[in-house]
Structure formats: structure tokens, C-alpha cells
Amino acid sequence: MLEYSMLYPRTTLSRRAVSLDGMWKFCLDEQETGEKSGWTFGIPGNELIPVPASFQDFYTEKEIRDYAGDFWYEKDMFVPEEWEGRELFLRFGAATHRAVVYVNGTKITEHEGGFLPFLANVTRVVRYGASNKVVVKVNNELTVTNIPCGETARLANGRKISKPYFDFFNYSGLQRSVYLLALPKEYIFDFDLNYEISGKDANIQYRVKTTGGHSVMLTLYDEEGRIAAQAKGTDGTMEVKNARLWRVRDAYLYKLVIRIMDGERIVDEYQQEIGIRTIEVKNTLILLNGEPVYLRGFGKHEDSDIVGRGFHIGVMKRDFELMKWIGANSFRTAHYPYSEEIYQMADREGFLIIDEVAAVGMFESLMNFMEASTGKKTAFFEKETTPVLLMAHKRAIEEMITRDKNHPSVIAWSLLNEPETTNEAAVPYFEEVFQLARQLDVQKRPRTFALIMNSVPGACKCYPFSDMIALNRYFGWYVKGGHEIAEAEALFRKEMDAWKALNLNKPFIFSEYGADTLGSEHKLPSVMWSQEYQEEYLKMTNAVFDSYDFIKGEQIWNFADFQTTEGILRVNGNKKGVFTRQRQPKDAAYLLRKRWKELPLDYKR
């Protein structure tokens, strides 16, 4: 069990959550002398930077954008006198990729893994009724002992740069909100929910963890604010008569209020919107509330102009409006767990999420998508450092599942993206991560991972771990693109026939397929990179998807164009977006919209 509570910060009767978002002081630490120079008490200069945001795209200097190493943030925070006697925490939504936190010069915690929240108990280090200094040292270097995987290289001039084994820019910093939390001494730490539907009614099996021994009470309210169910005790069942189910693009949210009671006195109160639904995989079907669903949607990124990977509430809103417009019903949080607000929005809008941990780049290659298809073997899971990597990976899975398990939108866990699966050494590694996910999730959601092009029948040792097979396939782009598209289709069908022959009796989805397309290019007849080719490519892939009954979903790569490391394969970023980075449609968006609006929800039932 994690040493701190992952519950989303909220102000309730008993809790206070104060946002520390806004301008923070900022500086780089090229010489890595911050601690020695006393920066833990306050950093030099007067440079201000917004939080949440990636630091990279604000500046006009290349050295800053491409900086790898330590960098520091600082903010003053006032702690009210009346909070004495409470438990106080600093909560970071994410610090990419690792951070050390100091309050008034004292180190209070450190955390590794850049896409999940962490908390530090500051009860005993803060001054009450006074201003306190929060200083954070962040580091964005890539390694093979943490996720996402990559290297940090040193140039001849001494500067460090990032060499990701993955295809997105190494944006970093305090990319999500920071909060100061004041909780009662005895507080609600965590809870789990599981659902059972019987006829018109539903049972919610629950388990609540608190930090004390007082009794626990739960009340469930419907959307009109009427009491729908009540229960007492730290675990049990709530019965909901005439339950309104949470459905795809037709979400119904109940409000769950959990209280710790000392007689009549409320010791702690926590509230969260929840949705009643079941999710399972049965034969080749993905069943939501027992009904088959066919996924359509995207692999996404948290990525936009100016703020980079920083959470931006406006970009989030626009993305959901576009997904609704195009008729999508799902997305994968490629290639890391997203900001919590995005899951809350998906809960409200009825989108299905495949929640992915940041286990990407598990193939030694500076251009993984290129070298993977060459059949090259890199013995990735046989390194001396693999056990360290596995520990970090498992820790991230635990943090992700603990954070996201109570969202109705989350229907599956993606535990790796495009790892090397052709060596026997991958098997025990997979065994551990898949087993951990099963053990942590009381809902036993399907587990999956995204298979790279060379993970095919006969070569891939790991697909049996997946409850739902997720393929990343680029026939017609990396393989036989443009004038060779007919051959691409033949190879694509050949591979699908080989999967069919295995008779796995599991649903397959396409977690990636796509073609780079420049919003500016038109060409008749088509050439690769033109808008016309993106449409031609989609017509081919869609025809293949429609030919196999066991294919139960299509999530195109990518929702929008996004930033990557520069290089000869990328034109100022990856251009496989159906939308531009500014969130305007390319021509293919209209083609997809027509298809996705016409396909029934239970297509191929």
C-alpha cells in the first residue's frame, strides 16, 4: 500500500485544498550546485514561470528548450494559524521526471516518476500563521532504470541532452497542479468500489480505508440530490434500487459521500462522483454493463502550443468537444497517465479510457518505431539494471491504479507500450506487471499492452498476458507506403490471418494506426504526407478492420499533431494527427466522422 492517500484534492466540511498554481520562481542548475549553494532555502534570481506547465516552450533560447538536468522551482505559501492540529500535505499532481521537495530548507520528500501525484506530510515543518518557503528541485534526465526509458547524452560542450527511446518531446517540470491540503488527524485514506447489476437494481461492494478507528458512513446521491443508498462500516454492500447505469456517451453520475463519524460529529468527509457500470471481456467481446461495445477513438497525448505537456483546462475542453463532434467514444492515455481532470471529464461525458502507465521506450532504440520493424533484438529485459526498472514500473502501476480505479471511464489498464517481446527474458517481467495489476484492481479490469510491429504470432512471447490484444500497426506508412499501398494491405491481411488462425478467443483492438499528414499539403493523385493520402490510407485500414470479427476497436494515432525530438523523420513533430496541433480538422477528420457516426455501438456483436 502507498504511504500517502491518492484521493483527488477537495475542500469539504472537514478538508481544505488550497491551490498553489500560478507564477513560481524558476532557475536552471547547469552546474548541479544548487544544494551546495543553499538553494534549498531559496533559489537565486527573479525569473518567474507558470505552474502548471512544461518549462520548455516559453523561452526563445534553444539551450533552455533542450535542457536536460536539474532545475528549481520556488513558491511562498502562507499556512493559516487555525490549521494547527491538522495533518498538512503538499500535493504535486506531477513533477517530471523526479523531484526533491524542501520546506523552509528541510528536505521533506523525493519522488521518481513524472506522471503521477505524490504527497509530502509537512505538518511538523511548517510555521503556522506565517509564510513558508517551498523549494522543489526537479530533474528531467532519461534513464533505463525508470519510465519512460531513454538516455541522457553529454555533448562535447558539456551540455546534456535527452535521447528518448520514445517518440514524444521530453517536456518536463511541474506540469500539473500543486496543492496544500489540510486534513483532520483521522481521515479517509482510500476506497474501492465494485459493481454488480441485477435486473433493475445494482449492488456496490465497497471498502474504505481510514487512518483511525471511528465508524464510517456512506451516502449515495443521485443527480437530483436524492439519497439513493446508504451504508455503515468500512466494508460492505450498498444496494441501489432502479439504478441508473453509466453508459457510453450517456453518463449518469451519482455522488458518493463518505464520512468518518464520532457519534454525531463528522470527523472527515470526502465526496466523489461515481458511475455504476460493469466492464469485462468475454470471448472476443468487450462488455460494458453486459452489452458489447466497439471502441472508436484515439491514442492521444497531453501536448499543446506554449504549455507543452502542462495541463490546460481550455485545451482539455476543446479536445472533448472535437472527440464528440467526430463520434469517438474512447481514447488511450498514450503514453502515461494523464491529468486527473481529464478522467473526471471522461466520466461526465461518457468516454471509455484505456489507462496507460508510462512504460514506453522498452526497446533500445533512438527511433524505436523505425528499428523495431527491422527485427533487431536489443535484449532490453536482460540488462543488469532490469530489476531496478521493474521496481519503478511496478510502483507506477500501483500509483496509477490507486489514483484512477474509481473512475467509471477507466475500462482497461495498458501496462506497456511497444516493449521488446521477442526475447524469453520479457516473460518473467510481464508476469510481474500483469499480476500486480490484477491484484490491485478489485474490478479486475482487462489488462493489455500495445504490441509493436514485430510482435507477431510466432515471434511475440508476451501476447498471452493480454486480456485484450492491442496492436500498433503501420502497414501503408512505415511498411509499404504510398504507391505500394496494395502490398501493404496484403501484408496487413496476412498478419491478421495469422492472428485469426491462433483462435485466441480474445478481443483485438488497434491501439495505433495512422499516416503522417501535413495540414498544408494537397496532391492529386495522392502522395505520402498529403491529406489525400491520409484518406486513402484510412480507407484501406478500415476495410481491413471490417473484415475480421474479432477486431473490436480502432483508436487512430494520433488525435492531434504533437511535438517530438527533432530529426529527419519528423517535420517539427509527429504529424499523424487527425487534427492539427491547434485543434483544427484535417480532411480525414470528416471521413472518420462519417464512419464513426454510422458504426453501431455494438458493431460486430
Looking at the annotation, which residues are catalytic? 418, 512
Residues recorded for the chain:
605
Smaller CB separation from ligand BDP, 166 or 463:
166
* Residues 407 to 446 in contact with ligand BDP, rule: CB under 6 A: 417-418
User: CA torsion 274→277→281→287, rounded to 10°?
Assistant: -130
* Residues 486 to 515 in contact with ligand BDP, rule: CB under 6 A: 512
268 is a contact residue toward ligand BDP (CB under 6 A): no
Task: With beta carbons less than 8 A apart as the criterion, state whether 330 and 414 touch.
Answer: no
Q: d(Cα 280, Cα 290) in Å, to the nearest integer? A: 8
369 is a contact residue toward ligand BDP (CB under 6 A): yes
* Enclosing H/E stretch for 76: strand 70-79
Smaller CB separation from ligand BDP, 478 or 548:
478
Smaller CB separation from ligand BDP, 118 or 166:
166
Residue by residue, DSSP assigns 143-185 as BSSSSSBEEEEE-TTS-EEEEESSSS----BS-S-EEEEEE-S
Size of the site for ligand BDP (CB under 6 A): 12
* Enclosing H/E stretch for 348: helix 340-349
User: CA torsion 490→495→497→498, rounded to 10°?
Assistant: 150
Q: How is residue 579 written as a grid cell? A: 487534427
User: Within a 10 A sphere around the Cβ of 14, how many other Cβ atoms?
Assistant: 19
* Enclosing H/E stretch for 16: strand 16-19
Smaller CB separation from ligand BDP, 144 or 453:
453
Of 57, 167, 355, 364, the residue at the interface with ligand BDP (CB under 6 A) is: 167
The least CB distance from residue 4 to ligand BDP, in Å, is 31
Classify residue 371 as left (phi > 0), alpha (psi -120 to 50) or beta.
alpha
557 is a contact residue toward ligand BDP (CB under 6 A): yes
Site string for ligand BDP, 317-356 (x = CB under 6 A): ------------------x---------------------
Smaller CB separation from ligand BDP, 189 or 513:
513
Site string for ligand BDP, 561-600 (x = CB under 6 A): -------------x-x------------------------
Smaller CB separation from ligand BDP, 34 or 361:
361
* Residue bearing cell 478538508: 15
Smaller CB separation from ligand BDP, 169 or 343:
169
Q: How is residue 516 written as a grid cell? A: 503522417
Site string for ligand BDP, 509-548 (x = CB under 6 A): ---x------------------------------------
Residues 6+ apart with CB under 8 A from 71: 26, 27, 28, 29, 55, 137, 138, 139, 140, 173
The least CB distance from residue 557 to ligand BDP, in Å, is 6
The least CB distance from residue 149 to ligand BDP, in Å, is 13
The least CB distance from residue 564 to ligand BDP, in Å, is 7
Residue among 100, 108, 104 at smallest CA distance from 128: 104
303 is a contact residue toward ligand BDP (CB under 6 A): no
SS (H, E, C) 89-104: EEEECCCECEEEEEEC
The least CB distance from residue 484 to ligand BDP, in Å, is 18
472 is a contact residue toward ligand BDP (CB under 6 A): yes
The least CB distance from residue 559 to ligand BDP, in Å, is 12
* Residues of this chain that bind ligand BDP (CB under 6 A): 166-167, 335, 368-369, 417-418, 472, 512, 557, 574, 576
